[in-house]
Structure 1
Amino acid sequence: MASFKQSVQETFLGLSETAQEKWSDFTQFLQEAWPLLLFLLMVLMGIWWYADPPPPRHVLMATGSPGGSYEVLGKKYAEFFAKKGVILELTPTNGAQENLSRLSDRDDPVQAAFVQAGVAHPKSVSGIQSLGAIGYDPIWFFYTGPEVQYSDFEVVRGHSKFFANRKISIGIEGSGTHAQSTQILKATGLDRTNLQFLNLPGERAVEALKKGEIDGAFIVDSYEAPNIQTLLADPKMHLVTFKRAEAFTKIIPYLQILKVPEGSFGLERNFPSEDLKLVATTTNLLIDDRMHPAIQFLFLEAAREINGRESFFTKRGEFPSFKDSLLPESPVAVHYEKNRYPLISTYFPFWLAEFISRLIFVLLPFCVLAYPALQALPSFRTRRMYNKINRLYGELKTFEQDLLTNYDHAKRDEYLKRLDLLEYQALNVTVSKRLAGDYYSLRTSIDYVRNCLNRGVHPYQYDAGVDPDL
């Protein structure tokens, strides 16, 4: 009975021999199947580069006019992108209409922009998708001078006491402020004939209001915006409440109602002096519908981290969301809203997580394509081996037929050299164990023909004195 040591040695020897045999089979497989593997590799590269190209490292985003909240927000997004190894370049614009035009232009490099809900009609733009709303933009109306009764703002038969005698800024044309203020005034039925409405950008309107060059201004911007904070901190400014806020939201469906409790802007001076209602639109994060999905996920992650925090008007986790999107929703954003970002992004840097995600995306269809091909490889290899053996058998048969009909004893050495060459070719044929019998049968057949040539009596030379039937 073998000792334990001998059993272990025999076991390891068997494992070593098996490993060597498998490695030999694998290298043989590579030598024989490389054309098919090369084809599959080319298919893989095609899927990799054309079906799912890598995300860009540079993205251009349109913000808005200088001094507005979009400029500040854009800088926060740029900082977030920089941490992920992507450059987010910000470009200022004149407002929402320019942002929409640049996103719609298929030749413009701008791929993302902040745009207020209600500025664009779905039928008027194309090639744009929404990643959702990321925050509230209240519609503020500030005025200076003596405090005015709310009844003076009411529009009766197209006229209002307040607007009839004052200069009012309604925002630069093409901006979100201009679009929203125009909608509000139109909903009230105000006749704008002979009224003094000015088209001033945000910073200029604030400056003119503080200097007394205008009497009031519509500004659509977030609570945190520098322009809004400047006006809220000025005790000479008054803020108008929207007492009929519910009616405005029925007429203009994308509007939201925001409540401002008494004194919440400043307890020391008790501003506002009563509870106020504001109507607000939302900021939508719009993109070119050709944007790479990974960059879309990055924008959504930035929105969750930056805009998902609790603020004056929003609850924690309220944004991003699809509140008032009138434009087509990005499938990537819909997926994100339900599933969030892939789990691997929690444990890996953005580029590595994206590489792994792309690898999974490529491997799945590749496996579907490669599986039947790999399944066919054993029969493919077997056929190739059989073909090599059968080709040599064919050459041997042709050679033997030639000996039978054209045998020349003087060429015996030449015949033997041809057999040596045929045997050398057979020796260089690598076959699997399953075909070892056919392989050695071929070599035996070659040796048989050689033995026939080396015998004293050759079967390839007929002797007329001998009866062939005996």
Structure 2
Amino acid sequence: MGIWWYADPPPRHVILATGLSGGSYEALGKKYADFFAKKGVTLELMPTNGAQENLSRLSDRNDPVQAAFVQAGVAHPKTTTGIQSLGAIGYDPTWFFYRGAEVNRADFEVIQGHSKYFANRKISVGVEGSGTHAQAMRILKVSGLDRTNLQLLELPGDQAVKALKGGEIDAAFIVDAFEAPNIQALLTDPTLHLITFRRAEAFAKLIPYLQILKVPEGSFSLEQNFPNEDIKLVATTTNLLIDDRMHPAIQFLFLEAAREINGRESFFTKKGELPSFKDSLLPESPVAIHYEKNRYPLITSYFPFWLAELINRLIFILLPFLVVAYPALQVLPSFRTRRMYNKINRLYGELKAFEQELLTNFDQSKQDEYLKRLDLFEYQALNINVSKRLASDYYALRTSIDYVRSCLNRGALLSVRRWG
């Protein structure tokens, strides 16, 4: 039980904040939950109102949410604390769809704060607090558009799609992945048009976390030759953010899930391109940096997650201990041997001094006192716990004590003194 405590086992239940119900983040979260389930960990998905709520919940040290999908640019590094990034796991282009007759591109240009198109249209910019809203408002701001008299509606993604298709609104900003159902529904609708970013490089300069995505002519639909020319889109990235107190093993599990789920080739990404640190506005997790260089320990290929993690943690704890303990263990037997050898030598020295005392100052009347001192020597010798290596020295000491006692009983020491 003590070893298990020191090994700091990872939790079996983790909460991931996704986004609005029915959105692409919820679908992505379900894939992560399936991956975690295979590893014996329950990943609970927590629907939220969007990126801003996800950040607030991660920052709250008392909130049980430990991870969240958040678009880059929503978090402000100077005001966000207690959160780390496991990296970017996907591209979320900024799509602007409008209905009706195709409009001249020049009508979208902002001149002295005004645009011909935006002046009299109902346009959805996403729910406040969502990634779509944050990116749409940022783009409108850097464009210099005066928003005073604009009819900007805050609709969730699925409602914006229905309203646009039904003619209730004129246009909509949606920030989502190419594969998202909402985006596919709009791309395949021939009554809708897509505005592209001809000045994508300028937007990327003004908004540093934006990525530029190139779309070749006809790549959305060869049959309809859509788009009818090479275009550029600006995109943010979906970042996998975590509470900085998250257990390292769970971080590794998230990174493994990201590599398996988001690391596949897609419309805008090459195989193995993600996860990566493309726009690390927030502190990067040390675990993620280690993972990017070394991947997950090889031991996980041969053992279930829990057993592999326990072995890995025990190795982490025991290896440094053994590095220190092994030399000590090597020294310990010789240290004990030296202590026993020193005790034997000390008694030898005392016995020799006693023998010399008898030779020089022998007094027959003190015979009993001399024998008691020899008995004390023998008692001290008997209390020495010796190893086999020192057995010969030990018994030699006891033999020497018996020899002196025998000489003393036979009066041999007195005779030697007389002859001396």
Same fold by TM (over 0.5)?
Answer: yes
> Which residue pairs with 1:432 in the alignment?
388
Q: What's the counterpart of residue 82 of structure 2?
A: 127
1:142 aligns with 2:80: no
Residues 170-226 of structure 1 deviation map (CA, whole Å, 9 limit, x = unaligned): 111111111100111001111000211122222222233233332221111101112
After superposition, the Cα gap between the structure-2 partners of 1:348 and 1:446, relative to the gap in structure 1 and judged at 3 Å, is same
SS of equivalent to 2:98:
strand
- How do 1:70-469 residues align onto structure 2 when only pairs under 5 Å count? 70-386=25-341, 389=344, 422=379, 425=382, 429-433=385-389, 435-448=390-403, 451=406, 455=409
CA distance in 2, matches of 1:258, 1:420: 93
CA distance in 2, matches of 1:182, 1:141: 13
Give yes or no for contact 1:208–1:214 (8 Å, CA) kept in 2.
yes
The answer to whether the Cα contact below 8 Å between 1:419 and 1:450 also exists between their aligned partners in 2 is: no
How well do the aligned residues superpose, as a CA RMSD in angstroms? 3.6
Check 1:356–1:405 CA distance in 2 against 1; reply closer, same or farther (3 A cut).
Answer: farther
With 316-325 and 346-355 compared, the bigger mean Cα shift is at: 346-355
Rounded Cα–Cα distance in structure 1 between residues aligned with 2:366 and 2:352: 14
Deviations 1:333-385 (A, max 9, x none): 22222332233333333333333433332233213322442343134212442
Q: Displacement, 1:238?
A: 2.3
Structure 2 letter corresponding to 1:58: H
TM-score by length of 2: 0.85
CA distance in structure 1 between the partners assigned to 2:139 and 2:95 by the alignment: 11
Change (3 A) 1:448 1:456: closer
In structure 2, list runs of 5 or more residues that go unmatched: 358-362
Name whichever of 436-445 and 388-397 sits farther off. 388-397
SS in 1 for 2:310: helix
- Which residue identity does 1:240 align to in structure 2? I
Identity %: 75
**CA deviation vs aligned residue, 1:376-432 (integer Å, no higher than 9, x gap):** 31342124424665798799999999xx899697x99x979x789939945x83423
Instruction: Decide whether aligned partners of structure 1 residues 317 and 395 sit closer, same or farther in structure 2, where only a CA change above 3 A counts.
Output: same
Q: CA deviation at 1:263?
A: 3.7
Report if the CA contact (8 A) 1:169-1:200 is conserved.
Answer: yes
SS across alignment from 1:123: coil
- After superposition, what is the alpha-carbon deviation per residue over 1:227-274, rounded to whole angstroms, capped at 9, x for unaligned? 222222333332222222222112212212223334433344444444
TM-score for the superposition, normalised by structure 1: 0.77
Partners of 1:303 and 1:320 within 8 A in 2: yes
SS in 1 for 2:155: coil
What is the distance in 2 between the residues matched to 1:456 and 1:355? 72
The change in CA–CA distance for 1:260 and 1:429 in structure 2 (over 3 A counts) is: closer
Aligned residue for 1:284, secondary structure, equals strand
d(CA) in 2 for partners of 1:312 and 1:376?
A: 64
Secondary structure class of the residue paired with 2:168: coil
What is the rounded CA distance, in whole Å, between the counterparts of 2:418 and 2:167 in structure 1? Answer: 132
Stretch deviating more after TM superposition (183-192 or 210-219)? 210-219
For the Cα contact (< 8 Å) 1:60–1:89, is it kept in 2? yes
Deviates further, 341-350 or 213-222: 341-350
Change (3 A) 1:262 1:391: same
Which letter maps to 2:385?
V
Q: What is the CA–CA distance in structure 1 between the aligned matches of 2:410 and 2:210, rounded to whole Å?
A: 111
